[in-house]
Structure 1
């Protein structure tokens, strides 16, 4: 019995001691102490790497004066266009023009059969002569007192009525003739000689192509840069580039597109540019202060705005939204960038606004590489 009790007491003592040891927590260091010691240098190295400023390449580009280029899609149109129609019904007696003819203002385009209209004019002329003679006789009698004033007034009224009838007869005869209202080209002839036409019937289409107009739509954002009289260029679909001037800018925007109609007048003395041809209009605004940068420099801000990143005087990253002035073979011409900005040209996508960086001046070879030029070129 005593021996059995001793073992129980020994086991109880061991259990109490083990429980006390577990309560101290010292057992955890047995297997993990070495792992903790190995992990600490790695964490410290990561923290040091995180704290070290990232090295980026920067440049301070020279300033240039560049005229903003605004490009619009458009098409050529005739300066004037008229659909000629008959002013009276009748049979076509003369049709001296065909499609493609060049006519001058006042040239005959169509003549209807006169029928009895010339006779009406001749008769009206005779009536006028008779009324003039009657008035002359009445005036002589009135001076001698042998004619009442009322009869003299009647003679005057009769002459005026005769003249009015003559003018009507001449106008009716003139309605048989259709003449060109301006210099141009007969683009379409809708009738044939000898055919019958009704009053108001379409006869021919006349267009004027000197100057030829190139019409397009300009956005409300670019409207402030352009005014009437500015120089413009148009690249035709056949590859030809022609020059002209802005002739008209609409003062009311299209409700659907919020754009404004614009017309560029292009000299076309030989009429070689037809109407209806597709063209790209290039408008040039007044020169403004800008910089030329490689396309790869442009990036997005944390809010999705298009711009460039730069390093300020404290080597902190700042973001500048850009104003695209032009897109040239040498790079993008950008406005809205401060003169002293150190623009990040390498590493701009690896940093965020507010980050501290280590800016290093980019060499000429790197700038050429970013611009897409072969290394080593001058």
Structure 2
């Protein structure tokens, strides 16, 4: 019998063992069991529910409000005139001091006459003589005893005498400087005995009643102000004046693109000086607004300013706003639909279209919201 080799025996042993394992069928259930275990595992997990975000909402009050335009400026005199000498001469009389109140026509100063009064007296005498000659010539001409040519000469002499008197009187009047309007002497530039040239500055006269508050209104606000509108002038010393717009420029400043605005206020005693810092406040027409605290305002994904609110299905919507007025108490906004539930807490944590759980704002939030409305605005 041939000798049986070891490697052949090993191969037969492996074949027998493999046949036995296949016969058991265990290999076919390994993958199935694993798949069944994986399939059964999700079924064993509990069902997951997405929690809705909670926001607080409130219906803000609606009220009529007039936007206030704030314009920075300063006070100016209604009129300002720098008086000057109309002829050369020596100051003979200075009738005012700085701070003096004068009426239109009051004497400010007088120069030395230097023969001008005598020239007026001489011109008057000459005129009287020429008037008498002209009257005699008229009588003689009516009776035919005077040629018409001689009558014309008499009339010409009379006219020349009248002109000479007017010139002499005008020259005499030039030695006096008088107030052109009621006002206060703000500055005196000369003293008695001073030699003046023609055109030299003598005094500065201000008219402070009414006082004028002057500011610059922006292009955006130009269409909302007009002459005749009422305004308030708040001075730096805390005083408040009622005024009226008298002028709005129709040409913008090339540097600032703003328009000059003038408001006049009564100042009968002249106590309010020119050059005082002031703020002009002009109220525009009344519009329907919603008063909300600044914390409610937010931005959408496009950077647009507005508020977020929820509809009847508790879905978030964004409403762009128009800021009618910005006061220390609240923002007065337009563009918000009626009866909308504004999100007053959590508005920055939700997005448009998201469904939320809307709860009525607590008493503290409602109280803060109500405090943005002044008592006189609630009436």
**TM superposition score normalised by structure 1:** 0.84
1:188 has 2:177 as partner: no
* SS state at 2:285 partner: strand
Aligned to 1:21: none
Q: Superposition pairs for residues 257-268 of structure 1, below 5 Å?
A: 257-268=256-267
* SS state at 1:353 partner: coil
Q: Superposition pairs for residues 203-242 of structure 1, below 5 Å?
A: 203-242=202-241
Aligned to 2:279: 280
Q: Is the 8 A contact 2:234 2:280 kept in 1?
A: yes
Aligned to 2:246: 247
CA distance in 2, matches of 1:170, 1:181: 19
Aligned to 1:86: 85
Aligned to 1:56: 55
* SS state at 1:309 partner: strand
Aligned to 2:201: 202
Q: Is the 8 A contact 1:295 1:371 kept in 2?
A: no
Change (3 A) 1:224 1:359: farther
Structure ID, larger Rg: 2
CA distance in 2, matches of 1:238, 1:218: 23
Cα drift, residue 207 of structure 1: 0.5
Q: Is the 8 A contact 1:317 1:357 kept in 2?
A: yes
* SS state at 1:239 partner: coil
Structure 1: 4+ residue segments shifted above 6 A: 5-11, 370-373
Aligned to 1:104: 103
CA distance in 2, matches of 1:243, 1:155: 65
Aligned to 1:174: 173
Q: Is the 8 A contact 2:83 2:205 kept in 1?
A: yes
Aligned to 2:137: 138
Aligned to 1:155: 154
Structure 1 segments unaligned to the other structure (5+ residues): 15-25, 374-378
Show CA shifts across 1:81-104 (max 9, x none).
100001101000010111111111
Structure 2 segments unaligned to the other structure (5+ residues): 19-30, 373-379
Q: Is the 8 A contact 1:100 1:186 kept in 2?
A: yes
Change (3 A) 1:274 1:6: farther
Change (3 A) 1:357 1:223: farther
Paired residues, number: 353
Query: Considering only aligned residues, what root-mean-square deviation do their CA atoms show, in Å?
Result: 3.1
Show CA shifts across 1:234-266 (max 9, x none).
221112222222222222222332222111112
Aligned to 1:165: 164
Show CA shifts across 1:308-359 (max 9, x none).
1122344333222323233445422222222232211111111223333333
